């Protein structure tokens, strides 16, 4: 039997062959998780004893490709590969090469930077990957071990970032999840990193997606606080040309120093109104929102070999059912059962 399907979109929207939700937003960005596995156990995401899905439950490489190909046919223009940690996916290089043949405007990937070599970076770039984003939450080695519960060092991640740029990737992005009394005292240090190495550093509010369910509102160091901290040392000016659906508000240094900073504030100032994203988990669940409680299983359609038009109808229906917003901060808000690693960042 087929798995649960999303409620059907109106017939005229199905005929339009476009991903559009009931609130008027056009969906053009797909976040594709290729694995739920991660070699880090970050305190804001995964507990040490987290169990991952059996490999046989994950989509196969050709299924990822078929699904993205169908999505491109109904308007997806940009793709981000996520995890877990996508570099743990054993067929990553081959998948990037396959996806690079599709008519996408942009293909990016987020990684924790534990294993990015010059040769591999060049292969990715040659195959069609256009941007890399690195996750790094501290510049202090002892704190790195505490936050990630891993043996990867700050130096190794910084080396991976520089390797990616030297291999031909444009200014890499660095994502820092800022947490009160954990690493908020390093905000200015990360701004300095952006200035010194001409990086795009994006500060992200701590979200209720941790497997330990330890999130509390008081743990959130807001983006207003981040901006105030940076501007005590370096005044900022807004960057022009941000896309309406950008997840971050982006700023340059007023003294025209190199680098850029961005503020991602899903808790204190949600950006749901212009969201253009749809998500696919590693085992083929379509999720219309990061914080959604609804998800629909496209894997049975892929395993039965249904044609592209059937996959596209499924995606159109899923997009139509995208919620208006996630309601973090409201008394009735409940975090999703899945963690960030299981959803795909």
Query: Rounded to the nearest 5°, which phi and psi values hold at 30?
Result: -115, 130
Neighbour order of strands in the sheet with 200-205: 236-238, 249-253, 260-264, 200-205, 173-178, 131-135, 106-111, 78-82, 29-33, 277-280, 285-287, 296-297
Q: Could you tell me the CA-to-CA distances from 175 to 135, 191, 206 in Å, in that order?
A: 5, 12, 12
Residue 21 C-beta-side C-alpha neighbours within 13 Å: 22
For residues 128 and 143, give the distance between their C-alpha atoms in angstroms, rounded to a whole number. 35
Cβ count within 10 A of residue 333: 11
pLDDT, tens digit only, all 345 positions of the chain: 345 899 999 998 888 889 999 999 999 999 999 999 999 999 888 888 888 999 999 999 999 999 999 999 999 999 999 999 999 999 999 999 999 999 999 999 999 999 899 999 999 999 999 999 999 999 999 999 999 999 999 999 999 999 999 999 999 999 999 999 999 999 999 999 999 999 999 999 988 765 666 777 788 999 999 999 999 999 999 998 777 667 789 999 999 999 999 999 877 776 677 899 999 999 999 999 887 888 999 999 999 999 999 999 999 999 999 988 776 666 666 767 777 778 876
Cβ neighbours for 76, distance < 8 A, ≥ 6 positions apart: 19, 27, 28, 29, 30, 68, 104, 278
Query: Rounded to the nearest 5°, which phi and psi values hold at 72?
Result: -60, -35
Handedness of CA 183, 40, 79, 28 (dihedral sign): negative
Tokens for 106, please give them: 């942009």
C-beta of residue 341 within 8 angstroms of C-beta of residue 287: no
Q: What is the pTM of this model?
A: 0.93
Of 304, 282, 287, whose CA–CA distance to 91 is shortest?
282
The class that CATH gives domain 11-343 is alpha beta
Going from N- to C-terminal start, the domains of the chain cover: 11-343
DSSP assignment letter at 149? -
DSSP assignment letter at 165? H
For residues 133 and 157, give the distance between their C-alpha atoms in angstroms, rounded to a whole number. 11
Of 244, 245, 324, 329, whose CA–CA distance to 289 is shortest?
324
Of 140, 129, 141, 83, whose CA–CA distance to 102 is shortest?
129
Q: What is the CA radius of gyration of the chain?
A: 20
């Amino acid at each position: 039997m087929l798995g649960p399907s999303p409620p059907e979109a109106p017939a005229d929207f199905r005929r339009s062959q476009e991903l559009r939700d009931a609130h008027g937003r056009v969906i053009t960005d797909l976040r594709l998780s290729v694995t739920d596995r991660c070699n880090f156990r970050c305190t804001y995401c995964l507990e040490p004893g987290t169990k991952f899905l059996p490999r046989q439950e994950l989509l196969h490489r050709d299924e990822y490709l078929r699904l993205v190909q169908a999505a491109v046919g109904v308007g997806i223009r940009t793709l981000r590969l996520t995890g877990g940690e996508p570099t743990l996916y054993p067929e990553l290089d081959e998948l990037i090469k396959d996806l690079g043949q599709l008519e996408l405007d942009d293909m990016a990937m987020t990684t924790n930077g534990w294993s990015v070599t010059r040769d591999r970076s060049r292969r990715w770039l040659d195959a069609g990957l256009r941007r890399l984003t690195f996750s790094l939450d501290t510049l202090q080695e002892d704190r790195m071990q505490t936050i990630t519960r891993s043996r990867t060092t700050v130096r190794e991640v910084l080396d991976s970032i520089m390797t990616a740029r030297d291999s031909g990737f444009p200014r890499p992005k660095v994502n820092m999840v800022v947490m009160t009394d954990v690493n908020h005292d390093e905000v200015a240090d990360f701004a300095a990193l952006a200035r010194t190495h001409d990086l795009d550093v994006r500060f992200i509010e701590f979200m209720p997606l941790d497997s330990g369910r330890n999130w509390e509102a008081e743990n959130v160091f807001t983006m207003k606080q981040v901006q105030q901290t940076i501007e005590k040392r370096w005044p900022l000016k807004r960057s022009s040309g941000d896309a309406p659906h950008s997840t971050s508000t982006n700023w340059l240094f007023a003294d025209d120093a190199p680098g850029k900073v961005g503020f991602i504030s899903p808790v204190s100032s949600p950006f749901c109104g212009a969201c253009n994203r749809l998500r696919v988990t590693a085992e083929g669940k379509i999720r219309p929102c990061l914080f959604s409680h609804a998800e629909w299983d496209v894997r049975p359609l892929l395993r039965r070999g249904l044609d592209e038009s059937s996959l596209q109808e499924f995606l159109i229906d899923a997009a139509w059912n995208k919620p208006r917003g996630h309601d973090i901060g409201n008394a009735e808000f409940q975090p999703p059962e899945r963690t960030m690693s299981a959803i795909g960042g």
